[in-house]
Structures are given as structure tokens and as C-alpha cells.
Structure 1
């Protein structure tokens, strides 16, 4: 295999069926590829009650500073109905200039391009004038408990320190060079349960319909808007994702009703302040609902179902400028600096060093027939090459 060719590297990775939380041979393959470049590789398995064991990889090339981390994941989401795929989801077939397979863009493709870029750099210039580490998890598409966060803590406890990081997630909406992620919105999910009194719909005075209160409460969560955003973040957005009573009868008032919601929030909020605002809105709506006159305040409970993912914004100009310049030099485009999209493992890395994200075009991620253009693999490899040279220069490496 030629390490400088991202197509060959990606092909080897896609053929590993590493569906979360299975390693599937992907980390073993990656270890075999990067070891000849001089990386010292450590494989670590983390465990936690009620969650699957997860295999992870940490590798470092060089012993001095400045120290750049490349972070990513080899785990992939399930392929779904394999019969719906035009080619095997783990075949890495190539047709019409495209490589097909689960993980092609999310995000084995990003890993393959970084490995190829580093191999080209070493071939042309020798090892970088500093250190490069790879922090690769098998738990990004899963609960993210036994992956990046624990691997960062493990490496930090052994004395590892990083000056900057790049995450190879697919960031470009339509074409290479569209977008660099310089931050991420936070995420908070919850469930509201309203208790009522079950009864016959013909005798509503003997019952208490919880949906009357829940409708008013969900409306209060949606309006007015939580904020209007700012120069770096779009407006905070709350979505009601389900309303349920478990009731299959049309002539029965249900005993309880639940609503689930998710909020993607700007840096105007943190988990505590946003939770307090949500409770305040629910309290007001539970007391003042016009849909249940004379009933008094509704009884409700709220459960925030997971620890909130914090919002963050990277302000390290040397990192941002190095990557922007690399993108422009290869594509001729000025990338948008964005905080849109979902969460990523960058939310863990930001506590250790400045972090940005840049990878492939994400149009087909998690879809049937996930695929990547071979031309895009070459473009991303060249961008990473230019970034490596530019960042180490800006960071003051000798």
C-alpha cells in the first residue's frame, strides 16, 4: 500500500466493519499504517457500567513542541438495510469517480487524508518540526462515554499537552473549501411529563386532560425565541421532537402526557442558565394555561435526559488563519467560519487546547450509498499538507 495515496488508505479503512462500538479491525489497520511513519502507538480500552467497552488509539510522532493533534473516529453508524445499497457498505467499491462505503465521509475519509498528507510531508521534508498526535476513538457515533473524553484524560495524565487540534469531521456543505467549524452550539435534551386524571371524554369534569396543559407548555418553550444569536452563533433553536400519551382509544382522556425536546444553543447560554429559563417558562405556562380554566396549576415534572453539551468558540487566530490559508491555497476559496451543525468530539477537546474542524463534503453521511469523490480526497489531502506546513511555521517551529 502507498501511504501517500488517500484512496488506498481509505479503502483499507472502509473494509473494516467498525460499527459502533465494534473496533472491526479499523484501529488495527490504522496502527499498521502509521507505525512505519515513526508513530509510537498506544491502544486503550475504556469501560463504564451499562455501556459497551470501546477500543481507542493514541499515537504520537515527535517529542518536542509545538504539538498538533489530529482527532477523529473510526466507528461508523450501522448501514441499515444493506439490500438498499447499490454496493456493499464495506466494499470500498469505486465507480464513476466515487468511492462507496460506510464511513467514506464520516469520517474515515478525513483520517485517510490526514495520514496521506502526513506521509507526503515526511517523504518531502522529514518529520514535522514539532510533534503530531492522532487521537482516534471508536465511540463518537455511540454514547461518547468510553471514547475521546477519557482518551484525552488518559493522555493528559501521562503528560501529553497540545497546542492546537483539528478534527476531521465532514464540514463542507456542498464543495471543498466551503466551511471551517470554529465552534459548536451546545445541546440540551429533556422530557416534560404532565400528570392528569384519566376519564371518559363525555364527562370531562370528572377527569383532567394533561394534554391541555402540555400544549400550552410546549408553546411557551417555542415562543418567544430564546435569543436572536450573535455574530458567531445562529439563534438558539428549541424543537419539540415528540408528544405522547400512550393512549390508543379515542374516547379516553389520558392519565399523563409527555413531550420530548432538544435545544441547540448559542454561547449566550450554558446548561444551568438554559435549564433555569426552560423551568421558568414551564412554571408560568402550567399556572396560566387558558386551555384548562378553573383547574389551578398543572402538575408536571421535567427531566434533562443527558448532560448538556456546552457551546464553545475557538479564538486562536494562528490556528484559524493557518487552516483558512491552506484551504484558499488549494481551492481558491475563502471558507466560511461557522458554528452551525450538530455536536462533535471537539466539545471535549476544547478544554485541552484550541480546536477547529475541517473535512470532506458531508452530503451523504449516514445515508444509504454513503460515498466520497476521489477528487475530494486528493483536495483534502493537499489542504492538510498545506496546513501542516503553515501551522508549524506560524507556531514557531524551527
Structure 2
């Protein structure tokens, strides 16, 4: 039988910093093929972005189909010398598994494999799939979204999905995700005319207009949240002028902002509100926006109840079914089927000395196994 801890260590030892596969998908495929999974390695490309290799694997030929989803790519380690252990050494100390990806989210993928093997060994009616990308921590262009397109072209469907992102703030079982807020980003450039500060009549300083626009953008009243979502929030993240001389009026200034928004907003409405705020100031400006993910909610139903009950049964913990936090590839999968997220404790993800508790690995595996059995019992 697959041992989730051993497989997690093998995966962590692959330095798969986005977009490098670095053997991680080879390792995962080697674990899935002997179980009877048909594996498809899928490399996607797009101009201006790195090629990314992905894996879609499926056991079974009939429905219903339960899909485990996640990513083997990891963020850079930063200063490797600051780590207690080799970031890709998968060392164990004091009951903790250390390494980049230990929490986010190679260990969860290993738990999924062991859980799937247990269910396969007992027999069931239906199929189990794995949708694993190497582009979640990067641009998220050549990963999950294109795998889903590939599946649609083949007539390949999934009926429910669990993403193994680290969802628990402090202890395993306290939180699962049943939705996420959307992410809307903008770049505002206000243009003027460069000149000497002693001769302002010969120049046009864009910065007072930029400051006024940002003040009005920050003052936009979005919403107070709703039953499942916290209030939408707009944050100005940087203001840049690039002016190194104190006696020069700059030709332009720019600012970046991001909105994390709930289901009370949409991208078109946000853009309209922000443009209206800028227009109220006037002058020469350009606004470039990008919506990297819409908000979504998996309504309470069989999938959310199944996950809730599995956590409660294994841990005697009542999980909070939440929509907080950042974005994940669930924002793409929700277009294909109902999706939930549950994984390890998130406290050390993306940090130096990323690690997870060894004791949580069999617990997470057991929860995934219960979710699978509950899904197929429903038929």
C-alpha cells in the first residue's frame, strides 16, 4: 500500500518551483499507474508565459467521477541558509515534516493517493480522477484552466472535486472552504508634463490628480458582506513615480490596487465604479484592469455535507465552512462541478521552515477516504 508520508517526502525532494516539474509529476505518476490509473501528461503553452506540464489521471470508466485536485509546483525557498533543514530535503524532526510544499500542498496530494488506493482495494462503482497542475503558484494560465478545456474537448466530465489547499488556520479540521472571493486588480497611470518646480506654469504635475483619484477610489462603498462572505475590500498596494530629483515635476505617476470581492460585486461593476471615481477628478489617465478570478460559492448540499461529516467523524471537530482567504484553482474548477477545499494547517505555507505535523498525515488521509466512500455511497 502507498504510504502518504513516504510519498510526501518523495514529492518534496523534487525542487518543483513554478514552472519546473523537476520530477514531481514523474513521482506522482509512478504512484498512480500501478493502481490502475490512466495517466495523461499535458504540457500547455501561451505566448509570454512559460510552458507548464500537468497531469490528469483517472481510475475507472464509468460515473460518477470524484476528482482530487491540487498542484505540485511550489514557491521559491527564499534564503535557503535561513532554513533549519534543506528546503527540499524532506527531513523529519520533532514530529514535523520540513520542506517546501510540505503544507502547500504536496503532502495533501500524497494523502489523496493513499486514500484512493484504500477505496480502490475495496471496490466501488464509479471513477476517481486526479487533476494536478504545475502552474498554481504562477500565472495560472497554462495549468488547471487548460486541463479543464482539454477535458471538455474529450467529453471528460467530473461530478465533484476536492482541492487539497491548506485551509486550517491553527489545527486540522477547524476550517474547510466552500467558496472564495474574486480577485480584481488595477493599474492607474495619471499623465502630466515634466518640468522644473520653479516654473510650474510650464509643467503639469500629475501627482495631485493621482492622489485625489486614489482617495476617491479608496472611499468607494462596496458592501457589508452577506451570509457566506465577508465584506469586499479594496486595497491600494503601491504608488510609484520613479522621480529621483526633488526639483523636477514628474511626467506621470502610477498606482496599483486589488479588490477581493464577494458575490455582491462583479468585475464589470467594479471597473465602472473605479472609472467613475477617476473621471470625477478628470485629466489624462489610463486604467488597466485584470480579473483573475470570480467569486464563487458551493451551495450547501451533498458535497459540503460529505466533507463536514468526514471531518466530524475522524476528528470530532465541527469545521467552519468558510469562504475566507485568497484564491485557488477552485475558481476554475467550479465551472465544471461543485468544489470544496480541505487540507493541512496553513501557518507555515510560503514561509521559511515550511512544515506539517506528521500526526496530521494519517488523519487527513482518513478524512479523504471518508469523503470518497461517502461520495460513492450516494452514487
TM-score by shorter chain over 0.5 = yes
The aligned residue for residue 335 of structure 2 is 351
**In 1, Cα distance between equivalents of 2:34 and 2:160:** 24
Deviations 1:293-341 (A, max 9, x none): xxxx32211111x343111111150000000000111111111111111
1:379 aligned to which of 358, 363, 368: 363
The aligned residue for residue 196 of structure 2 is 200
**In 2, Cα distance between equivalents of 1:298 and 1:122:** 65
The aligned residue for residue 106 of structure 1 is 104
**In 2, Cα distance between equivalents of 1:301 and 1:161:** 42
**8 A Cα contact 1:184 1:340, kept in partner:** yes
The aligned residue for residue 214 of structure 1 is 210
**8 A Cα contact 2:41 2:55, kept in partner:** yes
**Cα displacement (A) at 1:199:** 2.6
The aligned residue for residue 314 of structure 2 is 330
The aligned residue for residue 267 of structure 1 is 263
2:164 aligned to which of 168, 172, 178: 168
The aligned residue for residue 345 of structure 2 is 361
1:133 aligned to which of 102, 110, 129: 129
Q: Which moved more, 1:101-110 or 1:42-51?
A: 42-51
Counterparts of 1:1-398 in structure 2 under 5 Å? 2-3=1-2, 5-123=3-121, 125-126=122-123, 128-284=124-280, 286=281, 297-304=282-289, 306-315=290-299, 317-394=301-378, 396=379
**Cα displacement (A) at 1:392:** 1.6
Q: Which runs of 5+ in 2 are unaligned?
A: none
Q: Which moved more, 1:205-214 or 1:232-241?
A: 205-214
**TM (normalized to structure 2)?**
0.97
Deviations 1:40-77 (A, max 9, x none): 11111111112111111111111111111111111111
Find the residue that maps to 1:194 and give its secondary structure. Answer: strand
**In 1, Cα distance between equivalents of 2:152 and 2:127:** 15
Deviations 1:238-297 (A, max 9, x none): 11111011101122221111011111111111111111111112212x1xxxxxxxxxx3
**In 2, Cα distance between equivalents of 1:52 and 1:384:** 33
**In 2, Cα distance between equivalents of 1:204 and 1:13:** 61
**8 A Cα contact 1:9 1:116, kept in partner:** no
Find the residue that maps to 1:11 and give its secondary structure. Answer: helix
Per the alignment, do residues 344 and 171 of structure 1 end up closer, same or farther by CA in structure 2, a change over 3 Å counting?
A: same
**8 A Cα contact 1:166 1:357, kept in partner:** yes
Aligned length: 379
Deviations 1:191-237 (A, max 9, x none): 11111222333443443321111111111111143111111111111
**TM (normalized to structure 1)?**
0.93
Deviations 1:132-163 (A, max 9, x none): 10010111111111110111111221121111
Q: Which runs of 5+ in 1 are unaligned?
A: 287-296
**8 A Cα contact 1:45 1:54, kept in partner:** yes
**In 2, Cα distance between equivalents of 1:252 and 1:48:** 41
The alignment yields a C-alpha RMSD, in angstroms, of 1.3
